[in-house]
Structure 1
Amino acid sequence: MRHTRRAFTALGASALAATLLTAPATAAERAPEQAVYGELARNGTFTTDTEDWWGSPGSSVEAADGALRATVEPAAPDQVGQWHHTVVGQNHIRLRPGATYTLSFDARASRTTKIKSTVQLGTRPYPSSLDNELDLTTTTQRFSWTFTSSLDSDDGHIDFQVGGQDVRTDIILDNVSLTTSTAREGFYTDPDSTAMKWVRNTEEDPRATKIKAAIGDHTTVKWFGNWDADGNAATGIRTEVSNYVGAAAAQGRLPVIVAYNIPGRDCGGASSGGSADADRYKEWIDAFAQGIEGRPAVVILEPDAVAQSSDPGCISGEALEARFDMLWYANQHLQAQGTFVQTYLDGGNATWTLGQDLSGTDGNGGIGLKRMAYLLNRSGVSMARGVSLGVSNFHSTEISNQYGSRLAAQLKADFGVDTRWVVDTARNGNGAYVTPGVPSSGHVGFCNPAGRKLGVTSRAGTGGAEYLLWIKNPGDSDGDSAQCPAGSPSAGSFSPDLADALIDGR
């Protein structure tokens, strides 16, 4: 069913069949600018015209009130109910086998009727990856399906089979969208997460099936640091990031990756390490960014690095200025990868910034909103999409959203920066730990505290957050320092005991 964009007049059945098979395409139509990721449908909102959309014989297509109106003529008596005899659609869609896509649109009709919606090829035998029959009414409805493509073509179609009407009918379409490698198709699951490695290497532990189903199948964030080829950035970290992002792109899923390699990482705490110096860090972050290759990715940039820069016992003087410079450089080079790369510079957590009573005033154990906004601005947040909040923490999503809203308002008021935020929900199902019997104690347990629980899996956000993400891999230890429960594994090591406790909330 290959068509040009022009609207056809009604033809007889034999002429119609010939037209559907032989209608020529102009040079411009044979080679349009073609998207591989993100939004694939062109001009799906029909604001001013129907450019890039065509109607086959038996229909006329026009823009009307910001939508596409296809007026479908009555079918011959022997063709009533045969929708494929009249089609409205768009050609030249890149479809990749094994990749996940989401088609969505608004539709109504001048009377109650049926049509078909397909994503298919336009040549015999017209194979499709999506084929759905719709019941339209005179009230606009939203339709949406996520599917995996079985097709490999530069000339896939979004087709609406609207024919077979027994009376003249108007079909109204709007907000037509076909996406891949976005949050709508879901986040890529790391097949080599610490949880999955433990499951694969475990033969007899009765918790293996439980941990795989509850954690391994939902671990959607991969961390990269100096354990990933810090000494050979050009061929090491670039390749590792490229392989991971490429595997996600092949599935049409959105990868989430963490850059965690700032010099002086974690102020020498349980997760200490990082690049040796600023020059090495810039080489590393260059290679990290280059590994993405402009493909879709969410990047969480340097958890703790901004908040810890407010602690003079951790970093000060020239080292502090160097940290701001490194974070600015990282934001700049990630931004240069293009619009498919969404960077969230870490903004700490509500307790760290606002103090244990979350009042937001200085002097109660927190950094203070104005100070955090200043630090983020110095670190180049204006070049990022937003900030990440509560990474490796336990605050409820509600608390983190309250903090995100206030922080965004402060950045706007003080620096004119518009920002979004994402929340780490990996372990916040029961909220933050408080001292038993002392509810006013606030959040006091940060290292493998008891009684925590898995939060909602990675998804589009609520309450202001753009995304809710499992940034901290559940089951990975916070560390084995004196502040941690006895027997805690070293930071980043997977513990089936911790994983099992998070699943049960104990």
Structure 2
Amino acid sequence: MRNTSIALTTVSACALAAALLTVPATAAEAAPEQAVYGELARNGTFTTDTAYWWGSSGVTVNSVDGALRATVEPAPADQVGQWYRAVVGQNGIKLRPGVTYTLSFDAKASRTTKIKSTVQLGTAPYPTSLENELGLTTTAKRFSWTFTSTLDSNDGHIDFQVGGQNVRTDIVLDNVSLTTSTAREGFHTDPDSTAMRWVRGTTDPRAAKIKAAIADHNTVKWFGNWDADGNAATGVRAEVSNYVGAAAAKGKLPVLVAYNIPGRDCGGASSGGSADADRYKEWIDAFAQGIEGRPAVVILEPDAVAQSSDPGCISGAALEARFDMLWYANQHLKAQGSFVQTYLDGGNATWTLGHDLSGNGGIGLKRMAYLLNRSGVSMARGVSIGVSNFDSTEVSNQYGSKLATQLKADFGVDARWVVDTARNGNGAYVTPGVPSSGHVGFCNPAGRKLGVTSRAGTGGAEYLLWIKNPGDSDGDSAECPAGSPPAGSFSPDLADALIDGR
């Protein structure tokens, strides 16, 4: 690596208690162990039955023509318009505060009417995180809302309040889905990181310190030509699948780095990568397929876009081939679905803002935006900032904001960003516009410090992530301090220095 909501409302406790008294006691008990993220609604397509869904008194549910048909009996005159008098729902939904969910479904009715849709708890005082009134007609319509939960329960409800009808009415529901891509238990820690392997195999007195400060927090796994296992397609696919699967089993969000572009690192300390474009496309196909549509964050090819601006690194037909490979990678990762969040690497603040703010070299925002656009950033979630570098989170966020603005202005691309905080605790680029005021060398520089561990972002960043694994060497070339290990090798000396900030 070179230096280069919905407003909250409440439903009457007495009213909902009356409506839910007749919920079958086995409704939640019969359900299998629920996924911790991804699709949370069970049997939302009603292909053959209405398993896991119940109807309270006053409503009968059946599967008809591959949809749930709720037949609602007429309400007494004094209860007309009181939707909570009859409810169709599903129990056993795991809800966590601060987690983002999307509820969506198709609905229609045998006549024009209104119902209410909620995500809530089924016990007093019946708090809701989502509550919407909706009008139905005889033509099916798709409804969808994204909301942030305020509730913490293993027994949340998806409820459709359908009562209060003045005549017998059929309500038809289909394709009911409640999804989240937010990990409930945080980011997945790599149990086999270089730091953890060192900790397990040593009697060094620093092992406990390095385990507690670093190995227990390494939340990113890098994949490259070392994952080929002699067969790129089966090797990396299996490695990715196993890693993502292990994270999913724990309810955690895995972060993966794809780092296998041909001509990687311009032949520098981290050189390597696939042999050619065809081999790379096979490899990235297998990488993407290994995710299997499950929630994952992917950091795509650190430095590959920024270094494409260097004619001494890549030019001509090779440059066009790189754009094509990155475009292909974004396209195939996007095809894995909305739970896969890809961030195409956008270099670092010094590399780019060093040009725009001081005129002292660098790429420049317009050029970087152009390169990212050529590389398919419109298909990604956004960009990664400062990977394996040292710029402070504040400086990286300044760059992320400027780059996102440039991409929107020049190409209409809406881009989010994530920041590598693994080694930026002491920063590197101290005075915006004056790179020489504080920027340090790219290879194992002294005086650096661990940054905040992986978490939700601040200052505009979507996530703050440990992308570079602390303690892994940047290389052993002449530009590195004497005695530096080869790139990617773990060094307890480097790790200990990062912990202490020396």
CA distance in 2, matches of 1:320, 1:439: 28
From the superposition, tell whether residues 412 and 201 of structure 1 become closer, same or farther in structure 2 (CA, over 3 Å). Answer: same
CA distance in 2, matches of 1:105, 1:453: 30
**Residue 420 in structure 1 maps to residue 419 in structure 2:** no
Cα distance, 1:143 vs. partner? 7.5
How many residue pairs are counted as aligned between the two chains? 401
State the match for 2:192 in structure 1.
Answer: 192
From the superposition, tell whether residues 209 and 386 of structure 1 become closer, same or farther in structure 2 (CA, over 3 Å). Answer: same
State the match for 1:388 in structure 2.
Answer: 384
Q: Are the counterparts in 1 of residues 389 and 423 from structure 2 also a CA contact under 8 Å?
A: yes
State the match for 1:302 in structure 2.
Answer: 301
Q: What residue identity is the alignment partner of 2:240?
A: V
Cα distance, 1:233 vs. partner? 1.7
Find the residue that maps to 2:343 and give its secondary structure. Answer: strand
From the superposition, tell whether residues 20 and 308 of structure 1 become closer, same or farther in structure 2 (CA, over 3 Å). Answer: closer
1:127-138 superposed matches below 5 A: none
State the match for 1:218 in structure 2.
Answer: 217
Q: Are the counterparts in 1 of residues 97 and 152 from structure 2 also a CA contact under 8 Å?
A: yes
State the match for 1:129 in structure 2.
Answer: none
Find the residue that maps to 1:423 and give its secondary structure. Answer: strand
1:489-500 superposed matches below 5 A: 489-500=485-496
Find the residue that maps to 1:343 and give its secondary structure. Answer: strand
CA distance in 1, matches of 2:214, 2:190: 11
Q: Are the counterparts in 1 of residues 473 and 494 from structure 2 also a CA contact under 8 Å?
A: yes
CA distance in 2, matches of 1:146, 1:212: 31
State the match for 1:376 in structure 2.
Answer: 372
Q: Are the counterparts in 2 of residues 387 and 419 from structure 1 also a CA contact under 8 Å?
A: yes
Q: Are the counterparts in 2 of residues 433 and 449 from structure 1 also a CA contact under 8 Å?
A: no
Cα distance, 1:430 vs. partner? 0.6
Find the residue that maps to 2:234 and give its secondary structure. Answer: coil
CA distance in 1, matches of 2:184, 2:373: 30
State the match for 2:443 in structure 1.
Answer: 447
**Residue 102 in structure 1 maps to residue 102 in structure 2:** no
Q: What residue identity is the alignment partner of 1:447?
A: C
CA distance in 1, matches of 2:210, 2:290: 31
Cα distance, 1:234 vs. partner? 2.1
From the superposition, tell whether residues 327 and 346 of structure 1 become closer, same or farther in structure 2 (CA, over 3 Å). Answer: same
State the match for 1:345 in structure 2.
Answer: 344
State the match for 1:236 in structure 2.
Answer: 235
Cα distance, 1:91 vs. partner? 1.2
Cα distance, 1:9 vs. partner? 10
Greater shift in the superposed pair: 258-267 or 440-449: 440-449
Q: Are the counterparts in 1 of residues 422 and 466 from structure 2 also a CA contact under 8 Å?
A: yes
Find the residue that maps to 1:298 and give its secondary structure. Answer: strand
State the match for 1:332 in structure 2.
Answer: 331
CA distance in 2, matches of 1:242, 1:261: 17
Cα distance, 1:299 vs. partner? 0.3
From the superposition, tell whether residues 350 and 157 of structure 1 become closer, same or farther in structure 2 (CA, over 3 Å). Answer: closer
From the superposition, tell whether residues 439 and 466 of structure 1 become closer, same or farther in structure 2 (CA, over 3 Å). Answer: closer
From the superposition, tell whether residues 312 and 158 of structure 1 become closer, same or farther in structure 2 (CA, over 3 Å). Answer: same
**Aligned with 2:363 (options 357, 363, 367):** 367
Cα distance, 1:320 vs. partner? 0.4
State the match for 1:49 in structure 2.
Answer: none
Cα distance, 1:434 vs. partner? 7.3
Q: What residue identity is the alignment partner of 2:256?
A: I
State the match for 1:475 in structure 2.
Answer: 471
CA distance in 1, matches of 2:429, 2:98: 42
Find the residue that maps to 1:222 and give its secondary structure. Answer: strand
Cα distance, 1:431 vs. partner? 0.3
CA distance in 1, matches of 2:362, 2:372: 15
CA distance in 2, matches of 1:369, 1:12: 58
State the match for 1:263 in structure 2.
Answer: 262
Find the residue that maps to 2:226 and give its secondary structure. Answer: coil
CA distance in 1, matches of 2:498, 2:387: 16
From the superposition, tell whether residues 179 and 193 of structure 1 become closer, same or farther in structure 2 (CA, over 3 Å). Answer: farther
Q: Are the counterparts in 2 of residues 433 and 452 from structure 1 also a CA contact under 8 Å?
A: no
Cα distance, 1:92 vs. partner? 5.4
Cα distance, 1:230 vs. partner? 6.3
Cα distance, 1:441 vs. partner? 3.7
Cα distance, 1:353 vs. partner? 1.3
CA distance in 1, matches of 2:17, 2:307: 75
From the superposition, tell whether residues 71 and 318 of structure 1 become closer, same or farther in structure 2 (CA, over 3 Å). Answer: closer
- Residue segments in structure 1 that go unaligned for 5+ positions in a row: 1-6, 43-51, 59-68, 73-86, 96-100, 107-116, 120-131, 137-141, 150-155, 161-176
Task: Give me the TM-score of the superposition, normalised by structure 1.
Answer: 0.70
State the match for 1:109 in structure 2.
Answer: none
CA distance in 2, matches of 1:10, 1:365: 68
Q: What residue identity is the alignment partner of 2:332?
A: H
Task: Give me the TM-score of the superposition, normalised by structure 2.
Answer: 0.70
**Residue 461 in structure 1 maps to residue 457 in structure 2:** yes
From the superposition, tell whether residues 456 and 55 of structure 1 become closer, same or farther in structure 2 (CA, over 3 Å). Answer: farther
Q: Are the counterparts in 2 of residues 454 and 502 from structure 1 also a CA contact under 8 Å?
A: yes
CA distance in 1, matches of 2:324, 2:234: 25
CA distance in 1, matches of 2:16, 2:380: 55
Find the residue that maps to 1:91 and give its secondary structure. Answer: strand
CA distance in 1, matches of 2:87, 2:212: 43
C-alpha RMSD of matched pairs (Å): 4.1
Q: Are the counterparts in 1 of residues 429 and 437 from structure 2 also a CA contact under 8 Å?
A: no
Find the residue that maps to 2:244 and give its secondary structure. Answer: helix
CA distance in 2, matches of 1:286, 1:11: 50
**Percent same amino acid among aligned pairs?**
80
Q: Are the counterparts in 1 of residues 291 and 336 from structure 2 also a CA contact under 8 Å?
A: yes
Cα distance, 1:184 vs. partner? 4.7
Q: Are the counterparts in 2 of residues 8 and 56 from structure 1 also a CA contact under 8 Å?
A: no
Higher-RCO chain (CA-CA 8 Å, sequence separation at least 6): 2
Q: Are the counterparts in 1 of residues 181 and 339 from structure 2 also a CA contact under 8 Å?
A: no
From the superposition, tell whether residues 55 and 457 of structure 1 become closer, same or farther in structure 2 (CA, over 3 Å). Answer: farther
Find the residue that maps to 2:96 and give its secondary structure. Answer: strand
1:378-429 CA-partner distances (Å, limit 9, x unpaired): 0000010100000000000110110011111111111111111000000101
CA distance in 2, matches of 1:135, 1:213: 41
Q: What residue identity is the alignment partner of 1:482?
A: A
From the superposition, tell whether residues 208 and 10 of structure 1 become closer, same or farther in structure 2 (CA, over 3 Å). Answer: closer
CA distance in 2, matches of 1:299, 1:219: 15
1:70-124 CA-partner distances (Å, limit 9, x unpaired): 989xxxxxxxxxxxxxx999415577xxxxx625699xxxxxxxxxx869xxxxx
CA distance in 2, matches of 1:189, 1:392: 18
Q: Are the counterparts in 2 of residues 103 and 144 from structure 1 also a CA contact under 8 Å?
A: yes
CA distance in 1, matches of 2:376, 2:418: 17
Cα distance, 1:21 vs. partner? 4.0
